[in-house]
Structure 1
Amino acid sequence: MSGRNAPKGAGLPKGIVGYGEAADELVVQYEGVTFDEVHSDVLHLVPALPGRILDVGAGTGRDAAALSGRGHSVVAVEPTRELRAHGQRIHAGCGIDWVDDSLPGLVLSQHTGQFDAVFATAVWMHLTSAEREVAMARVAALLVPGGRFFIHLRHGPVPNQRRMFDVSAAETAELGRRYGLRTIHRSERRDLHGRDSVRWSCLVLQTSDSDR
């Protein structure tokens, strides 16, 4: 397992160090593509009926706003204050419930209960192996029977001042299996921002339809 240590960032989850300083640039990048483009391979698996959805590492709220627009009740978790502020500004009035929280613990003290779907787009590879273990158990517990976990994994060079790990789709699917989540979708795609050195894995994991 290889990773790059983050710079100083006392008090911040290590996986998000560097994002606050780059927030003004990242908002252009994140909002420059649409929810439908990012999730084109799995749109048919997004709950069709209005439900309760958790977007972990919501960034500027692009996905959260699109999901809210589809009639879902959305909790957007974003630990980077600067990105959260951009999201609250850009998507004001969308009915998104913003939360300052993060994996692997994901306390959600004000949002008890389970969710029909959990999204983690470009988040999972920021977690260490031990953190991913804890995070998968937490997500599995947060999903209703038949609930789905949507994951996008980034592969490629690690940007300066970021912490990322080389996490494979196969490893992620196996970890999910150990916590009762079966893989119902797995695909690869090119980078939507035209970076030839970057590619993405997309997985959807689903809980059993019966109560665990």
Structure 2
Amino acid sequence: MTIEIRPNASAEVPGTEGYVDDAELLIPRYESVNPSEKYRAVTHLFPKVPSLVLDVGAGTGVDAAWFAQAGHQVLAVEPVSAFREAGIRLHPSPQIEWLEDSLPRLSGVVHRKKLFDVVLVSSVWNHLARDERGVAIAALGTLLAPGGVLIISLRHGPSPSNRRVFEVPIDETVNLASNHQLMLIASAETASVQLLNKQAGVNWSWLAFKN
């Protein structure tokens, strides 16, 4: 396991509002989610052989650990230190590298000039404003290996009042991706698998793109 902290990273990354205050409550909630249920709608698109995975907004590393257990190498990107520290403690693995970075630019990841077979943007996209989403899709497109798959989930339903959350149209996301030569290959609608969100009526759109 490798840990990299960017010395110039901002302590208040846009989109992370509320997460530091709620981290103690959110960590067990994140850990309660089964990734095989969460990704059921798009699991068939994941590589069957060991590959490079970029997990953007990795939270406590539940998804990263799931991919690592399947033999993949994972770069887990998370701007909230409480989540990174929990992930390092709860999911130690030589196949997971942790990096402090964030959308929309992912400057630390882009600087590495590495391409990924799977890029995950799960439970993150709705935290970006419209202009940030345009910048973000451009950055993500540069990180996708030829034939790789980009997975973006869109949240629909109520959100905590202390979070920065936008309602994001599916068509806007598809059009943004198309503008950067990323073509939609699959879409699905699912209920939340996190119990409290499910009870609140939260559901998700899953969009998969290839270059």
Q: Give me the TM-score of the superposition, normalised by structure 2.
A: 0.90
Any idea what the Cα deviations from partners look like across 1:57-93, whole Å, max 9, x if unmatched?
0000011111111111100000000011111110013
1:18 has 2:18 as partner: yes
Match of 1:137 in 2: 138
Hey, what does 1:4 align to over in structure 2?
none
Provide the C-alpha distance between the structure 1 equivalents of 2:95 and 2:51, rounded to a whole number of angstroms: 14
SS at match of 1:71: coil
| 1:210 alignment counterpart | none
> Which residue of structure 1 aligns with residue 149 of structure 2?
148
Distance of 2:209 and 2:70 partners within structure 1: 21
> 2:55 corresponds to which letter in structure 1?
D
Equivalents in 1 of 2:96, 2:178: separation in Å?
31
Deviation of 1:196 (Å): 3.9
CA distance in structure 1 between the aligned counterparts of 2:128 and 2:162, rounded to whole angstroms: 15
How far did residue 11 of structure 1 move? 3.9
Q: In the alignment, residue 54 of structure 2 is paired with which amino acid?
A: L
Between the aligned partners of 1:53 and 1:39, the Cα distance in structure 2 is 14
Q: Which structure has the highest helix share of the two?
A: 2
- Equivalences, count: 198
Structure 1 residue 114, shift from structure 2 partner: 0.8
Partner in structure 1 of residue 120 of structure 2:
119
Deviations 1:85-124 (A, max 9, x none): 1111100135310000000110125743111110011000
Q: What is the match of residue 69 of structure 1?
A: 69
Identity of aligned residues (%): 41
- Which residue number corresponds to residue 205 of structure 1? 209
- 2:49 corresponds in structure 1 to 49
Aligned to 2:158, what secondary structure does the other structure show? coil
Measured in 1, the distance between the counterparts of 2:75 and 2:122 equals: 14
1:160 and 1:93 map into 2 onto residues whose CA distance is: 35
* Farther off after superposition, 73-82 or 164-173: 164-173
Give unpaired runs (5+ residues) of structure 1: 1-9, 208-212
TM-score w.r.t. length of structure 1: 0.89
Give the secondary structure class of the aligned counterpart of 2:207: strand
**2:95 paired with 1:91:** no
Between the aligned partners of 2:14 and 2:136, the Cα distance in structure 1 is 15
